[in-house]
Amino acid sequence: MSLACPVILVPGITATSLRDEYALPAETLWSMSILSTTKEYERIALHPDDLRYETIEPARVVADQVLEVAYKELIEELRHNLSEDPERSVPVYAFAYDWRMPLEISEARLVRFMDEVIARTKLLRHYQNDPWIKNPRVNLVGHSMGGLLITDCLARYVEHFRERRDWRGLVDLLEFAYDNARSAELQRDYAVLAEAAGVVASPQIRNLGTLGGNICQDVWCWYLQDGFSCWKSGGKFCDLAGGDSRYYGSVMGGHLCLSNHPSDTAVALAALDARVHIVSPKGGREISISDFLCGHNWVGGRLQSHTLGLDEIVTEIEVPFRPTHSTYAKFALRKSWDFAIASVAVSAVIRDRVCEDLRIVLGGVATFPYRSHEAERLLRDREIDKASAGAGAEAALENARPLKMNGYKVELSKTLVRRALLSLGSVQ
């Protein structure tokens, strides 16, 4: 297994000590330890007309070190646990910053610090022989204001990172955070993902939820939620199979569990050939989202929709496919705060009205985002018009085997596929 990326820990507000460099010797103005606390509010106050400088002169207050009392344990845990081999440890760097400063000042420093961390890590012998060296990146861990700093920094420097191939994974993670669903760049290049992220649940959940959590969430089958004993909860039976499968049941079959995968963004990501980056104490791995969301996987005696091990987490999502056109269509019982009964993500490269390449992925119909290679084959190298869109919709659902109560999903999904294709080809 390859080594995990080096980690930069960005602490929260007030969690970097500050010192005045003009004083001789330099004087600590802000610090906290188990034994003592220094808080010189007046001397660290910033000038109201120019926030780069202090009000009381002479003074030059700068960031000193990250407060040990808050982060030492976390940093040590990460240092010891990200690699099993003490000879091949993963470096963890704390980013000290002046939390009084406007965000853009600290963000510029953070970008330089990322470069520095990469350069330092390249000097470590065990990284020189690791695949990381070909695509060097960092993992950013933020606490409190540190998270804000990271998110805003990535948004501000998106073009800077995009120009540098070795930062691609990092940029991708940024672009696919819920918060960025409204970003003009995301809407331009990956409309399908922006649209899918924009209809997840409700604004409150979108503000807090993450893309990692959205693709890793478990099924929302009402039998499971209501505490029935079934395959997912340790039983030996699927209550939905012979029960009420109206809303969240698969129409594409399944194995043991028949509840459809609930994530909107996973459907969009599957239409973008996304790759999921995973880290555990043993190192990192990378897997296509289709293999990641296999729909059925036993891990530690538990039936999961994904292939994540007990000690693994998703750290990045990379999107290699760049469509010229893409869109997401969803049908839910309510306009907000509700899962898809059926959905479709379509992404395509269309030139001179001809569909040179495309992906069609259905949501709400299978235990995983269901990609229809049949429909894709049919439409490749064709113009999208009413006839081809209709044929594509039929092909997309040709393998459907609905349960007792959800046959209507087949027609519903065909309609969504047809509409999505027509909107892609701008056919009225």
Ligand X SMILES: Cc1cc2nc3c(=O)[nH]c(=O)nc-3n(C[C@H](O)[C@H](O)[C@H](O)COP(=O)(O)OP(=O)(O)OC[C@H]3O[C@@H](n4cnc5c(N)ncnc54)[C@H](O)[C@@H]3O)c2cc1C
Contact 181, 206 (CB under 8 A): yes
**Which lies closer to ligand X via its Cβ, residue 61 or residue 266?**
266
416 binds ligand X (CB under 6 A): no
**Which lies closer to ligand X via its Cβ, residue 183 or residue 217?**
217
- Cβ at position 301, least distance to ligand SF4 in Å: 15
Q: What is the dihedral of CA 76, 135, 173, 184, to 10 degrees?
A: 140
**Using the rule CB under 6 A, which residue among 136, 147, 213, 390 binds ligand X?**
213
**Which lies closer to ligand SF4 via its Cβ, residue 252 or residue 421?**
252
Q: What is the dihedral of CA 102, 105, 109, 114, to 10 degrees?
A: 70
**Which lies closer to ligand SF4 via its Cβ, residue 28 or residue 233?**
233
**Residue 207: other Cβ atoms inside 10 A:** 9
Applying CB under 6 A, the span of 139-147, 212-220, 240-248, 390-398 interacting with ligand X comes to: 212-220
258 binds, among ligand SF4, ligand X, none (CB under 5 to 8 A by kind): ligand SF4
Binding mask 239-268 for ligand X (x = CB under 6 A): -----------------------xxx----
**Which lies closer to ligand X via its Cβ, residue 269 or residue 417?**
269
**Which lies closer to ligand X via its Cβ, residue 268 or residue 379?**
268
- Cβ at position 423, least distance to ligand X in Å: 20
Q: Name the phi and psi angles at 414, rounded to 5.
A: -60, -45
224 binds, among ligand X, ligand SF4, none (CB under 5 to 8 A by kind): ligand SF4
142 binds, among ligand SF4, ligand X, none (CB under 5 to 8 A by kind): none
CA distance 223 to 231: 11
**Which lies closer to ligand X via its Cβ, residue 3 or residue 314?**
314
Total interface residues for ligand X by CB under 6 A? 20
Q: Residue with CB nearest ligand X?
A: 213
Kind of pairing, strands 50-54 and 46-47? antiparallel
Contacts of 57 (CB under 8 A, 6+ apart): none
**Residue 222: other Cβ atoms inside 10 A:** 16
- Cβ at position 246, least distance to ligand SF4 in Å: 12
- Cβ at position 59, least distance to ligand X in Å: 42
212 binds, among ligand SF4, ligand X, none (CB under 5 to 8 A by kind): ligand X
**Which lies closer to ligand SF4 via its Cβ, residue 255 or residue 386?**
255
Kind of pairing, strands 275-280 and 61-66? unpaired
CA distance 156 to 334: 35
Contact 392, 360 (CB under 8 A): yes
257 binds, among ligand X, ligand SF4, none (CB under 5 to 8 A by kind): ligand SF4
Among residues 406, 400, 408, 413, which one has the least CA distance to residue 241? 406
- Structure tokens of 233? 């909860």
Contact 114, 138 (CB under 8 A): yes
**Using the rule CB under 6 A, which residue among 91, 169, 212, 425 binds ligand X?**
212
Applying CB under 6 A, the span of 2-10, 82-90, 117-125, 332-340 interacting with ligand X comes to: 332-340
Binding mask 339-368 for ligand X (x = CB under 6 A): x-----------------------------
- Cβ at position 224, least distance to ligand SF4 in Å: 4
- Structure tokens of 35? 């034994």
Applying CB under 6 A, the span of 69-77, 221-229, 336-344, 349-357 interacting with ligand X comes to: 336-344
Residues at the interface with ligand X (CB under 6 A): 200-201, 205, 208-210, 212-214, 216-217, 262-264, 308, 313-314, 337-339
